[in-house]
Structure 1
């Protein structure tokens, strides 16, 4: 059965969206969300990238990048999937709690249920490319094939197989019981 996600408030799968407040370190900087990272990379090497990185919300990062779309780097359409893949993988490496949610989906098809985006999501007709869902499934498969899950979590406690398995089991149990999951803050 597919797992549909779109809004950050959808428990527990709202953490799959790029707007979820699960920060991470990447390329020497702290990113509040994967949306911040993705939008900033459209302007890598310019002051706009840093301006986007420092914005308080992912919506503001998205809106500013859209406003500056005439300045997007020339190679963007060729590298955007790899940029998204890098951001998504790092987000789930750095946040063990949501990595457990991702792994708890088993082999389910993951679908960004965006009514307006048929590239990253499924679009209004649900026939879109669903690239974000595809990337999430790729990342999920990578984590499965690692000898132990690579979690760089801020508290550094989730890099042991037994601790990770226990966390993953607790997440599955809470999902089955439809209990809320608490993912904490996005800041270190």
Structure 2
């Protein structure tokens, strides 16, 4: 027992010193490791921080209102020019200015046939031009839906592209003429457009329309289609404007007209009134000359 205690007494200092040395060594290693970690962290941080600064800068630029560039100024000036031009864009019959559409419901007659819309008139005239005896031409008078009418119009036999190109604008102009002349309400609305350009903003049609919608039309003006429907409408409008101007001028009364007879009546009444105030000199015969007078 004494030997064991003596042995333990000898071992404890050794173990204690070893333990202290281990603790010191561990602390040293830990400190060195922390230093290593920190040094590596700081060495890799600059790229990350630069990226973060770049991202924060881009976010600030996004929030900051951008000053208009030269191209933006040019775009604004182009838009202002379109506003100055003040064109009227139309397409579907139920949209704004839809009364200008071929599909707009408006009954009129050409003296022989009755039509429910200008599209029906155009396609029936097309059928009469190429196949007057065709059942399709007859069916065009019995169909009032513009979409069905358009489909039937594509089925007309004996179609000749060159002939149609020559006649189509005159046909559509005449249909628009009948449409607006036979409706005082539509006539007034057409005249209210004054001298503004009428444009069918159909993105699907570059012949009767321009091939662009109303939003893209001002920026694509150099790429517009023919706009034949708009031109036909402007032709009819000009005719109506000239008629309205001639009617507003007070013409001279025609001989035999009611105004002429009323004017004659007033003139005779004025003559009678003057005669009452100043009676005419009666016939007193021939007065003797001074040489014939006896003193």
SS across alignment from 2:195: coil
Cross-structure match for 1:112: 200
SS across alignment from 1:24: strand
Q: 1:129 aligns with which of 226, 246, 249?
A: 226
- Measure, in 2, the Cα distance between the counterparts of 1:46 and 1:120: 27
Q: Is the 8 A contact 2:203 2:211 kept in 1?
A: yes
Q: Is the 8 A contact 1:43 1:73 kept in 2?
A: no
1:5 equivalent to 2:90? Answer yes
What are the equivalent positions in structure 2 for 1:31-70 lying under 5 Å apart? 31-44=115-128, 45-47=132-134, 48-66=136-154, 68-70=155-157
Cross-structure match for 2:239: 142
Q: 2:109 aligns with which of 14, 25, 35?
A: 25
More helix by share: 2
Structure 2, unaligned stretches of length 5 or more? 1-85, 213-219, 249-295
Deviations 1:146-174 (CA, angstroms, capped at 9, x unpaired): 1349xxxxxxxxxxxxxxxxxxxxxxxxx
Q: Is the 8 A contact 2:102 2:117 kept in 1?
A: yes
- Per-residue deviation, 1:71: 3.4
- Per-residue deviation, 1:144: 0.5
Cross-structure match for 2:168: 80
Cross-structure match for 2:158: 71
- Measure, in 1, the Cα distance between the counterparts of 2:189 and 2:143: 27
Q: Is the 8 A contact 2:127 2:156 kept in 1?
A: no
Structure 1, unaligned stretches of length 5 or more? 150-188
Q: TM-score of the superposition, structure 1-length normalised?
A: 0.73
- Measure, in 2, the Cα distance between the counterparts of 1:119 and 1:112: 10
Larger radius of gyration: 2
- Per-residue deviation, 1:46: 2.3
Q: Is the 8 A contact 2:207 2:226 kept in 1?
A: yes
Higher relative contact order (CA 8 A, sep 6+): 1
SS across alignment from 2:127: coil
Q: Is the 8 A contact 1:38 1:87 kept in 2?
A: yes
- Per-residue deviation, 1:38: 0.3
- Measure, in 2, the Cα distance between the counterparts of 1:72 and 1:121: 22
Aligned residue pairs, count: 147
Moved over 3 A (4+): none
Cross-structure match for 2:62: none
